[in-house]
Amino acid sequence: MVAGHRSRDFRERVVWQKAHTLVLDVYKATESFPDRERFGLVAQLRRSAASVPTNIAEGSGRGGGDFSRFCRIALGSASEMQYQLLLARVLDLLSSPDHTQLETRVIEIKRMLSGLIDKVGLNGNPQVACFSADPTDT
C-alpha cells in the first residue's frame, strides 16, 4: 500500500460503475456497425470507452499522485470517445437517439471525473472521494 493512500476496490467508485456500464453499451451499439469499420471506428470507439474505467481502476490501485494522473487520462479518453460517437452519428452509423443517450452519459462521466480530480488535487490522494452509492456523488 502506498503511504497516505487508502486502497479501496475500484468497483466501489460510482464513476467507475457508470463508465463500465457505458463500455458494455458501446460494445452493443457498435455490433451493428458495418464490417468495413471493424478495425477502424469500432476498434477506436471500443478502445477509448474501455480506457475510461481501466484508468480509474489502475489509478485506484496505484494511489498517490498517480491516482490524479490516471483520472486525467480517463478524462481524455472520455473526450476521445465523445468525438468518436459524434463521428459515428455523422457517418450514419449510430442513430440520433442512441448518440444522444450515449453522449449524455459520457458528459456525466466527464463531469464526475473533473469533480474527482478537483477533490483529490495534484497529490492524487483519493481518501474517500468517489465511493458513495449516491448516483449524484462522484
Q: Which of 2-6, 77-81, 115-119 has the lowest mean pLDDT?
A: 2-6
Sort 42 into a burial class: Cβ within 10 Å, 0-12 / 13-18 / 19+.
buried
Pair 130, 116: CB distance under 8 Å: yes
Q: What's the pLDDT at 62?
A: 85
| CATH fold for domain 10-120 | de novo design (two linked rop proteins) (1.20.1440)
Rounded-to-10 torsion of CA 134, 86, 88, 114: -40
How many whole angstroms separate alpha carbon 136 and alpha carbon 27? 25
Predicted TM-score (pTM) of the model is: 0.84
pLDDT exceeding 90 applies to what percent of the chain?
75
Mean pLDDT of the chain: 87
Pair 93, 71: CB distance under 8 Å: no
- Give the confidence band of 65 by pLDDT, cuts at 50, 70, 90: confident
Q: Residue 120: pLDDT above 90?
A: no
